[in-house]
Structure 1
């Protein structure tokens, strides 16, 4: 009833958040399973649990440098004095600690609603204003394994550059569990701003890298979503 009675803006935000939350939850579950398997393997040396490899959907790409909307880095506190080690420190213990730290970071990101709260404010209704739109651009790319390092380095530079553009409301990227598929989300003030961005040196440079590193053509889609509302001139 709440969804059906909500405005178009509220319904869009609800659908968007549910989809992203479902993807993040799936990734979080994979990380939890990997951590549990590692713990069981150390506490029960006689038993072997195959590692469930799989990088989380929300990886380091989420921390694209957007000064006004950067997520807070909240970590789940760990109890001092407790350790999962059964012997001297080794690479397994270091791997386990990395899993736990990454899981804590993912949980902190899931709990952080700063970006979405701000986005909801940008999309909020106002009776005295006229509606304008934001353009959401989604770019899905599958990278060749042998060019993964080159692509990742270029993607980081691209995110930094786009985040600094005045007409880009927000940019972020996620890595799917297969480790080679990336999705970049860009929110632009207008479609014209995005088209101008396509002609920029930053975009053309990244496009050149994609030609050399992708294993298949990228899939780009865009949709206009209810956004900021501009005051209607009176008189």
Structure 2
């Protein structure tokens, strides 16, 4: 590392670290040489630091706060490690609650940041086509569940997958032909949020009660288009689908009391961390579906 600081960065190293899938290699090379100024394929790390320091803006406060937060969390973890075993039952309960609450708050913040990252990347990238959208879901199986449910198809384990895929292909081709006859929607895309939760077997009944309240609260939101949940057969695994007007609507809802209360209630009922994925869908599909209904 010290050797790297002394000799500076080559363009290959710069490209490997900063490539984001949006800027082209040529654009990154132009940036590299504009920072260096010497065009000798050896970028001084001090110049790189100075360049980003000039563009930190509000993120100067964010990064400073993160550094302070990191120190505070590490200190709290060290204290917990030293004192937890010797604490009273009530003291251990409070420690577990504080850890769980801290984890929940950080997870919520991370989801908001991830949404912001995806939003700015989407604004910088060309609008996704229907064919591209097929492969942006977290898994092909999840995407099949969404589309087949919307189309009224079933996913019987004994039925040939190829047959289902062919039916879905025909449906998508039909939708693509019909979309051009629709009036332009007010928003280009809507947001589909998929949330997968594996519930501890003994907590299923309690989870279902909390889930029912959350579904009602979510459905009552003005910007929520639809919310539904599916339990995978033979498993205590639930997949929830939330359709939102746009990404900002969902991000705002994540900060609401209803969303935070749900997260706090279910965190101890889950076997593993909740898996959340998002996908943009053409708003015209949603309009057409409602018109047909």
Shorter-chain TM-score tier: 0.3 to 0.5
Q: Kindly indicate which of the two structures has a greater share of residues assigned to helix.
A: 2
More strand by share: 1
For normalisation by structure 2, the TM-score amounts to 0.39
Instruction: Select the structure of larger CA radius of gyration.
Output: 2
TM-score (norm 1): 0.47
Q: Which has the higher contact order (CA 8 A, sep 6+)?
A: 1
